[in-house]
Structure 1
Amino acid sequence: MPYVYLESPDDFASIYYTTNTKYGNVGGFAPEKPTIIILHPLFLDSSWLHHQFGDTRLDDGFNMIAFDMRTCGQSTCRPSGLHDSWVDAADLARCIQMLRLPPAHILALEGVSTNCAERLAVLFPEMVLSLTLCNVPAPTELKWVFTAYDELMQSWCCAEDLESFEHVGMESVTFVVGPNVQECDVDLQDELIAYWEVTLPPAQRLRLVETLNVLMNRTPLKAETYASIKVPVLLIHGERNETCPKKYAELLQAQLTGVPGGVILYTVKGASGCLSIVPGSASIANQVFAKFLSRLPHTRSDLVTSEESVEERMQRALQELAVIVDKPKLAQRKAHSSLSFSCLSDDVIMSQSDSLSFYKKGLDSVFSPVGPDGRPTRRFSDRIKSHWFYGEKDGLSYAGSGSTNLVNTTESRTTEKSLPMPSSEPISAETAALRKSTFTPSSVDKLVIKGSMAKVVSGTSSMPFQRLLL
């Protein structure tokens, strides 16, 4: 079975992986070809990497393997407030050792994956031949993105009907494909929302909460830690990506002073979203990645047998991590658990645990966006369009006098230039901790309108008019 089981007294994770071999296993790797490890984008899993696995420029010349992170896709784990990007890196390192994978080229797509890849290169340099990071995020989350993710998480977890879930799904599409949602292929929108309805419904909200906690509570690496990365690095960045502005890729380029020959930064013109999902951007990114690898020394993929046991190597990495983050007590932890690599403060661990405990309540009675057969009940694009409150391609609704006006309005808006997303600076670590410490059940309940509208309106006479429109 394509799973790696990571078991310890305080943790359990089943990590799913897929390869480009005939039977989907590592034993089918061609020894004469180099190996690529792919880390999937946020909100998605390895099943969304068909643009990479189906590209002959990569598939013909390389062994390819992709892992679902512990809270994504077909991987499963025990929920934990200790989870951070160091834990993700430890998971990946353990999988590499247990599968006896050779040193590989790492292709990390978007925020959580790039943070994991950087930390893997720091703690386990012998496993990494090169790093390719797509859409590098800011060291800490931008303020407006932080707020948007916070609200998205609460709305997603507490959706009580199909329209509510589809609405938050459409908001999430914006983070995947960029702000010009009206230019996104309708089939892609339908596939994304259907995927979330099946894999991340409210009943699976703990996986979403834990994943976003890892992203939103991240802490930047120190300058000397970045300088310790000494493998070739390629940064691929979307020109119009507003959630991950290009200046932070340029900042990382300057910080990676130990890279031989310097870091290569390539800008994909016109790209505003995930570089692995939209076909045009994915093809360009694959071409740049393939050319980058063609300039590096050719390596074989013979399965590795190390004299050092997995636990011994992980213990050595844990001791190095204790020095990097200046926390000597880390070295005293048991390395047989990936959670031992967590570098979160006690306050953040407690707040993440509290949020997981809160969202765990009532899981047996939450709304399900799928039918009895486990499939979506409709395509997002097939929702009723004759109602005056119909949401258009941009996710907003416009009142009109009839279906003809709605069509005309939609056509006219597609020709307009979309409004730019707000610009802001990264948040501080104190801000992230404050968000978690002030988390209360009321902060979720206030976003959900329960009962008939007449009852709600009669009982909320002091509520501002704008709130009733939400």
Structure 2
Amino acid sequence: MPFVDIHSNEDYCALYYITNTTFNNVAGFDFDKPTVCILPPQFLDSGWLDSQFEDPRLNDDYNIIAFDIPRCCGQSEFRPSGRTDSWTDAADLALASRALNLPPMHILAFEGMATTCALRFAALFPEMCLSLALCNVPPETELMWIYSAYNELIQTWCYTEDIEGYEYIASEAVTFAFGANTSVALRDEVIGYWSTNTYPQKRQRALSQANLVMNRTPLPPAALQSITQPILMIHGDANETAPRKYAERLATELKAIFYPVKGGAGYLNLTPGTASIVNQVYVKFLSRLPRARSDPPEYPTSTHERMRDALSMLERITGETTMSTRDPMCPLSFCALEDKVVKTQTEMMRHYGKEQTLAFVPFNPVTKRPLRRYSERPKDEWAELEKEGTPASRRYTAAGTSVNERPLPMPQSEPILPNEGRLRKANFNAMQSVEKQVIKGSMAKVVGSQTPTLQKLFL
């Protein structure tokens, strides 16, 4: 399997990647074709990009490479650390591109973690980035009600102790991310993927992904001004977790082309209808740009010198005067989080790592497959009987939700202040999460209450 090893005195990671070449390597790239780098949607990996890799409009006319970035997703391996943010993801992508001798690329990024990484990559390494296409850009910081939901979900997720509890919280996460009307097949597929890739025995990996989402910081104005590449922003106008108004505001600041997908919500690349629209709009966007070749680049400076220049640029952007003293070959040196946030993330990483190898595993250790499909789980007959007056044949819709539970509209709130959420998390005690019991209920009721903590809302 293809990996790029990135190592330094302080850090190590191995980034997994795939390509659309015959032997899945960059040596098979056609020099006459432009190269597109795809960053997968958050909480998933490059294996969920079939709609792009199998579309002849992209596959036939472009060299395609997709990384499992951030390093805590997919098949990439990493050493857990509290010094990670989207700037470190951008440094990972740059080091991997230099190691593979990749030409300047068009970047196609899906959802929150990927789009924040792509923007920072374009700011620090403009010569490597020909254009940006950003799908479903989130607000500059997480909305308060979403932050509260994530805070509860991640703790319950990482410390569940049985298959029923894991399936329940995973289903709630699907509803939260994809919507209440998610099809049975997609729900089964997503929960099956999480069951074999992000489960309690890998809770440090899950926490690392949550930290990137919950602790992200706004992109400084100096960084926005340094992004001069052509930009396309595609956004689902029905996306309630990433409201359209914030994406439109960023598009105005970046002078980007903004394309709303009518009826589109989250994860535009996974639904067949919206995936085709995204591909069509993206190909038309690329066709209007000068056609670039993919000849092996001739770098004027060494990798060490280029990363040192990027670190100096990041120092000017953030105003953090100690960055120039850090090791430029270590991606962790690019972390721009405040010291107290790094300390909090480090403490939480240590807590989550305790007895991690003894935690619950929701798959068969021999076959490495989920214990069962979510749709094939035994139904709770007592809960069924509570729905008085509803015939058994009509109690559930095709999406697996109760016909008596109509999805409630998502609450409205503003993004959290830069430090507000992190100060709450500093007092987290992992041992308290072990003792929590999963109390079942509708996610619509959970997010509709907008209370500071969601444990009381699973009722």
5+ residue gaps, structure 2, are 440-454
Q: Which amino acid aligns with 2:245?
A: K
Equivalent residue for 1:379, pick from 370, 373, 379? 373
Write out per-residue CA displacement over residues 245-278 of structure 1, whole angstroms, 9 at most, x where no aligned residue. 000111101211xxxxx31100001011211111
Q: d(CA) in 2 for partners of 1:38 and 1:240?
A: 23
Q: d(CA) in 2 for partners of 1:89 and 1:410?
A: 44
Q: d(CA) in 2 for partners of 1:468 and 1:184?
A: 22
Aligned match of 1:59: 59
Aligned match of 1:207: 205
- TM-score if structure 1 supplies the norm length? 0.90
Question: What's the CA shift for 1:93?
Answer: 0.4
Aligned match of 1:85: 86
Secondary structure of the equivalent of 1:241?
coil
Aligned match of 2:155: 154
Q: d(CA) in 2 for partners of 1:468 and 1:108?
A: 34
Secondary structure of the equivalent of 2:151?
helix
5+ residue gaps, structure 1, are 257-261, 391-397, 451-465
Secondary structure of the equivalent of 2:382?
coil
Question: What's the CA shift for 1:442?
Answer: 5.1
Equivalent residue for 1:361, pick from 332, 354, 376? 354
Q: d(CA) in 1 for partners of 2:403 and 2:296?
A: 52
**Structure-to-structure mapping, 1:304-315, within 5 angstroms:** 304-315=297-308
**Structure-to-structure mapping, 1:97-136, within 5 angstroms:** 97-136=98-137
Secondary structure of the equivalent of 2:138?
coil
Asked if 1 retains the 8 angstrom alpha-carbon contact of 2:156 and 2:438, the reply is: no
Q: CA 1:237 to 1:469, structure 2 compared with 1: closer, same or farther past 3 Å?
A: closer
Secondary structure of the equivalent of 1:43?
coil
Question: What's the CA shift for 1:449?
Answer: 6.4
Question: What's the CA shift for 1:408?
Answer: 1.9
Q: d(CA) in 1 for partners of 2:209 and 2:338?
A: 17
Asked if 2 retains the 8 angstrom alpha-carbon contact of 1:155 and 1:447, the reply is: yes
Aligned residues, how many?
A: 439
Equivalent residue for 2:315, pick from 305, 309, 322? 322
Q: Which amino acid aligns with 2:420?
A: T
Aligned match of 1:252: 250
Aligned match of 1:239: 237
Q: d(CA) in 1 for partners of 2:343 and 2:391?
A: 52
Q: d(CA) in 1 for partners of 2:456 and 2:36?
A: 49
Q: Which amino acid aligns with 2:378?
A: I
Computed over aligned residues only, the root mean square deviation of the Cα atoms, in angstroms, reads: 2.0
Question: What's the CA shift for 1:387?
Answer: 1.8
Secondary structure of the equivalent of 1:235?
strand
Secondary structure of the equivalent of 1:328?
coil
Asked if 2 retains the 8 angstrom alpha-carbon contact of 1:400 and 1:406, the reply is: no
Equivalent residue for 1:284, pick from 272, 277, 287? 277
Write out per-residue CA displacement over residues 96-141 of structure 1, whole angstroms, 9 at most, x where no aligned residue. 1111111111001000111100000100000011000000100110
Aligned match of 1:395: none
Asked if 1 retains the 8 angstrom alpha-carbon contact of 2:136 and 2:235, the reply is: yes
Q: d(CA) in 1 for partners of 2:308 and 2:372?
A: 50
Aligned match of 1:407: 393
Aligned match of 2:43: 43
Q: Which amino acid aligns with 1:399?
A: E
Q: CA 1:92 to 1:330, structure 2 compared with 1: closer, same or farther past 3 Å?
A: same
Asked if 2 retains the 8 angstrom alpha-carbon contact of 1:175 and 1:273, the reply is: no
Aligned match of 2:18: 18
**Moved runs in structure 1, 4+ residues, more than 6 A?**
none
Asked if 1 retains the 8 angstrom alpha-carbon contact of 2:144 and 2:414, the reply is: yes
Asked if 2 retains the 8 angstrom alpha-carbon contact of 1:41 and 1:110, the reply is: yes
Write out per-residue CA displacement over residues 411-448 of structure 1, whole angstroms, 9 at most, x where no aligned residue. 49559862111110000012122122221235524533
Q: Could you tell me the percent identity over the aligned residues?
A: 47
Q: d(CA) in 2 for partners of 1:136 and 1:449?
A: 31
